[in-house]
Chain A
Amino acid sequence: MPDLLLELFSEEIPARMQRKAAEDLKKLVTDALVERGLTYEGAKAFATPRRLALTIAGLPVRGRDVREERKGPRVGAPDAAVQGFLKATGLASLNQATIVSDPKKGDSYVAVIEKPGQETVAAIAEIVPAVIRSFPWPKSMRWGKASAESGSLRWVRPLHSILCTFGAETEDPEVVPFEVDGIKSGNVTYGHRFHAPGPITVKRFDDYVPSLERAKVVLDADRRKEIILADARNLAFAAGLELVEDEGLLEEVAGLVEWPVVLMGDFEERFLDIPGEAIRATIRANQKCFVLRDPATGELANRFIPVSNLMASDGGLAITAGNGRVVRARLSDAAYFWQTDRGPLPDLDTLKESAEKLGLDLAKPLDQRMAKLDKLGVVFHAKLGTQGERVQRIAALAKELAPIVGADPALAERTARLAKADLPTEMVGEFPELQGLMGRKYAELQGETASVAAAIEEHYKPLGPSDRVPTDPVSVAVALADKLDTLVGFWAIDEKPTGSKDPYALRRAALGVIRLILENGVRLELIPLLTKHGDRFSGHDSINSAFELVQFIAERLKVQLRDQGARFDLVDAVLETGVRREAMLPGMSNSRDLVLIVQRLNALGRFLDTEDGRNLLAGYRRAANILKAEEKKDGEGAFAEAPKLELIADAGLIEEKGLAVALAQATPKAEAAIAAEDYEGAMAALAELRPAVDAFFDKVTVNDPDPALRANRLKLLNQLREATRAVADFGRIAG
């Protein structure tokens, strides 16, 4: 079976786009082939800085023949109909048609059209140009003479040549002939830009890869990564050091070279005074080099690892020296930032007002930076005011949250006031990814207590589902305050996430709130807290916003719990208990206390695993179904009253009495257990209902001919339904 080899050779493709582009190429070409009925055995795509390549193995030589029968006019039909039929089917005359007889309709013509399957080569020659013209680059461009005309080819960077061959292993493959904007397909590629720039004639994938290797091009990005990683580790090991591994950087660097050559350079030890994270950030971001550490101490070493694209004639001395020079210049900048940020700002007098407003001590450098942030009026969001205003709100909220999470309110407030102070520092200005971390370093240097300094860094956490959740109470208070302020603010101005749009990462913030609360067991009634914080924003109904926001958080909780494997229906049963607004008011039984919700969910899950639980659920369902049917006749709420116990005593069956007694005993027990947050206890109390319920349904006919008895029995069942609602909405439980 023949194979296809395709290579699109261009000027340098951005590293971050290469992997996806290779996958897109594979998908678009194979999908189009399959759509034409051309199946294949396997396909693999590759990318280097200058080429996308695709190999598809085991294609047929041609597609399957298609036989089609098309029905025509009756025999003896008017000439116009016959001519139309001949034209549509491509037959020369009626002699080429067959005649079929139908007992009812009589004889009519049928054309049998046999289409031979399309040659695969022809299909490829149509597919590939179409794929190239509509390729989904994130950003594409026009170039050269052709760009004078509209509709000229777009590619990520100028496309220079196309290699496209097709053929079986046993024969010389043929070039699949096509042309895209003046570029003719061929069987020629080019090697490394400097080591082997000349043309290379290629037959198929099997000789393509080794030819490229000889021309100093490693086609497979994963192999380039392996080479870089192995060589970097070896160089580090030989120097008695350890590579600081960095998958993101490795992926990028592998996209910047066709022939990786790993080198090692050094810089002056004095630069190691700069925080290691800043050294790493500057060397990584600006130079795309790896850094190394001392395995004994874990501290950074004064070495770096550049990955070049050249086997230099001097063994890389000049390249290492050149990189070292730039690294030193960058580190000089970082050292300057590190020093400047620790010193006083000029014009402190102009910052007095801000300092007073925010309770800052202008004798301290980090306090000065916060005052400056406020003074500059840097806007957080056009409708949500400045960073200074935001910090004031977070500080107030953190102080309120502190006693709830067991933190010292003064420390929480102090942390909040300094949490954003590193934003106007030189270091964070240059390396935004160091925000929080630099704040912590500067806080430590000016003698803030350890938990304040740590909380300045940790208040951004957790940043994602896999990020660590802070546990120090001060960190928890400020981290919660930071996220809740964001959420309340965006709810206040009605800019909530919709569909896939969540530009302010509000879903992530809500998930952060959930994880902070659950993983630290924070007992918190959200509605009153969020209502109060909502009052700090103008122009909205803060109670309403709080309810909507809590609903959003509950939705995120649902997603979170489901992701952790909880049963969908149980999550709903617990969360949807009394979603009516009045039922969620502060102090009511249907708390939005997330910790309790999860406890309730767990207790319910365990209960339903027991036989008692399953039977009670069955009993509940029977009761609910009967009630539903009868409420249709008598109206909603017709059986809401308590049953008349005298009537049961006088005329009821023994099983009816039994259920009434069981309910009278179990209901207060369950309620008391719930009030004590003992959900296991509440479930156990409900479980005691089981024999009475079973007996009731066994012996009692609910729809008694006596209307008074019927109504009373339905009221009894309603009590059973209500009793279960205290723990969950059993109606939402599936299975």
Chain B
Amino acid sequence: MPLAASSDPMNPTRSFQGLLLTLQRFWAERGCVILQPYDMEVGAGTFHPATTLRALGPKPWKAAYVQPSRRPKDGRYGENPNRLQHYYQFQVILKPSPPDLQQLYLDSLKAIGVDLALHDVRFVEDDWESPTLGAWGLGWECWCDGMEVSQFTYFQQVAGVECAPVAGELTYGLERLAMYVQGVENVYDLNFNGLEGEDRISYGDVFLQAEQEFSRHNFEYANTETLFRHFSDAEAECKALLAAGEAEEGANSAQHKLALPAYDQCIKASHVFNLLDARGVISVTERQSYILRVRELAKACGAAWLKTAGGGAN
């Protein structure tokens, strides 16, 4: 695909939003539904039910979306040129994984302005595992000139359930990619809207203050007592919804009625745990047990999802 003239603000090499829109268009043209971010705090695009839950069950599924991801521990008060506690992931999920997924991925890089005759793109072993989601897969880190720009995973198991069929997941680190194609050393210097002069909006204009404030919140001010309570509440609510949604004995349909609301509570518990972890109030031994508690919720939600229409139950 020929690039638009470089003066075009929507050119993926000129603006952050241009990059994002180019990826959306690219994957839309390949049959993906373009979703909007999930409206909850998550640590990675994988947590979006469009990935976690849709990866389960026999139904084909193709989706792409941007997901703001929160990693409270990675906050650096806006002082580190490439570490953020809030950043964007672009997520693609294709179920079943198509045979030419690697080529599709390379084509998407071309679309955002990476010249494959000039840049060294490599697939380097990186097996993915999410202990909290009870999920794992095999795949690679995708390197561009030695920089990791994406994660490429063939899901083998999610929520403790074998994937059948297997879904392919692509996760682009948007800020990193944008820094690369814009040739910028500091994330806050990224051109966000592609305009120049007074009209130019940088990534820093949009997010620097948020990074500073949320770093303070994550490390210093988040009320840990409240958070511990939130964790327990979410855990209890998740379990209650899972129980309440089960089909009654002898009912016509064996479907689960509340898998998605229950999963929301699982997401909530996971994020609260991340915050507590950032506050440093969870000891090494406790940490493991919290991860296990979230995983139990995820597994139960996955099991419930398989009893819904979306999960392939009749």
Contacts and interface: CB of A to CB of B under 8 A. Distances in A.
B229 interface: no
Contact of B96 (A145, A323, A327): A145
B216 interface: no
A322 interface: yes
Nearest to B140: A12
B165 interface: yes
A323 B140 contact: no
Interface string B147-170: 100000010100000011110100
Contact of B122 (A139, A309, A326): A309
Interface in B57-89: 58, 81-82
Contact of B99 (A144, A332, A377): A144
A139 B97 CA distance: 19
Contact of A322 (B96, B140, B146): B146
A312 B117 contact: yes
B137 A141 contact: yes
B145 A322 contact: yes
Interface in B84-102: 96-99, 102
B185 A145 contact: no
Contact of A314 (B96, B118, B165): B118
B143 to A, nearest CB: 9
A140 B166 CA distance: 13
A370 to B, nearest CB: 17
A408 interface: no
Interface string B280-292: 0001110000000
A147 B146 contact: no
B165 A141 contact: no
Contact of B98 (A12, A144, A150): A144
Nearest to B180: A322
Interface string B218-258: 00000000000000000000000000000000000000000
A412 to B, nearest CB: 29
For B120, B147, B164, B285, the residue with the greatest tally of chain A CB atoms inside 10 Å of its CB is B120
Contacts, number: 122
Interface in A133-159: 139-150, 156-158
Contact of B146 (A150, A257, A289, A378): A289
B127 interface: yes
Interface in A224-269: 256-257
A310 B166 CA distance: 31
B154 A143 contact: yes
Contacts of B165: 142, 144-148
B58 A11 contact: no
Contacts of A329: 81-82
A322 B145 CA distance: 5
Contacts of B146: 287-289, 306, 319, 322-323, 326-327
B113 to A, nearest CB: 12
B304 to A, nearest CB: 21
B8 interface: no
Contacts of A158: 97, 99, 154
A379 interface: yes
A332 B146 CA distance: 16
The main secondary structure of chain A at its interface with chain B is loop
A142 B156 contact: yes
Interface in A143-178: 143-150, 156-158, 160
A641 B58 CA distance: 87
Interface in B117-154: 117-125, 127, 137-140, 144-147, 154
Given A143-B166, A379-B284, A379-B285, A256 B138 contact: no
Nearest to A142: B166
B138 A139 contact: yes
A321 B180 CA distance: 11
A640 B261 CA distance: 87
Given A312-B119, A319-B120, A150 B164 contact: yes
Nearest to B58: A148
A140 B138 CA distance: 8
A279 to B, nearest CB: 15
Interface string A37-57: 000000000000100000000
Contacts of A194: 116-117, 121
Given A147-B164, A308-B120, A322 B125 contact: no
A322 B163 contact: no
A520 B155 CA distance: 54
B156 A144 contact: no
A614 interface: no
A194 B58 CA distance: 34
B170 to A, nearest CB: 14
Nearest to B83: A333
A642 interface: no
Interface in A99-156: 139-150, 156
A379 B123 CA distance: 37
A313 B120 CA distance: 11
A15 interface: yes
A326 B145 CA distance: 9
A418 to B, nearest CB: 22
B284 A12 contact: no
A158 B166 CA distance: 11
A325 B99 contact: no
A578 B166 CA distance: 64
A27 interface: no
A214 interface: no
B166 A322 contact: no
A257 B120 CA distance: 10
A146 B165 CA distance: 7
Contacts of A310: 117, 119-120
A139 B58 CA distance: 24
A322 B305 CA distance: 44
Nearest to A330: B146
B116 A144 contact: no
Interface string A338-352: 000000000000000
A147 B116 contact: no
A586 interface: no
B122 A377 contact: no
A309 B116 CA distance: 11
Contacts of B119: 310, 312, 318-319, 322
A16 interface: yes
A325 B127 contact: no
B123 A11 contact: yes
Nearest to A149: B164
B82 A256 contact: no
Nearest to B147: A326
B154 A378 contact: no
A324 B125 CA distance: 22
Contacts of B121: 194
A145 B156 CA distance: 13
Contacts of A141: 137-138, 154, 156, 166
Interface string A168-205: 00000000000000000000000000100000000000
A319 B143 CA distance: 11
Given A14-B125, A379-B284, A144 B97 contact: yes
A695 interface: no
Given A256-B124, A312-B120, A379-B285, A148 B164 contact: yes
A306 B119 CA distance: 13
A148 to B, nearest CB: 4
Interface of A: 11-12, 14-16, 49, 139-150, 156-158, 160, 194, 256-257, 287-289, 306, 308-310, 312-314, 318-319, 321-323, 325-327, 329, 332, 376-379
Instruction: Pick the 6 closest A-B CB pairs, nearest first.
Output: A322-B145, A14-B125, A323-B146, A148-B165, A12-B123, A308-B120
21 contacts: A12-B122, A12-B125, A139-B138, A141-B156, A142-B165, A143-B97, A146-B165, A148-B96, A157-B139, A194-B121, A256-B124, A287-B146, A310-B117, A312-B117, A312-B119, A313-B117, A319-B119, A322-B120, A322-B146, A322-B180, A379-B285
Given A16-B125, A310-B120, A379-B284, 6 more contacts: A139-B127, A142-B163, A148-B165, A319-B120, A326-B146, A329-B81
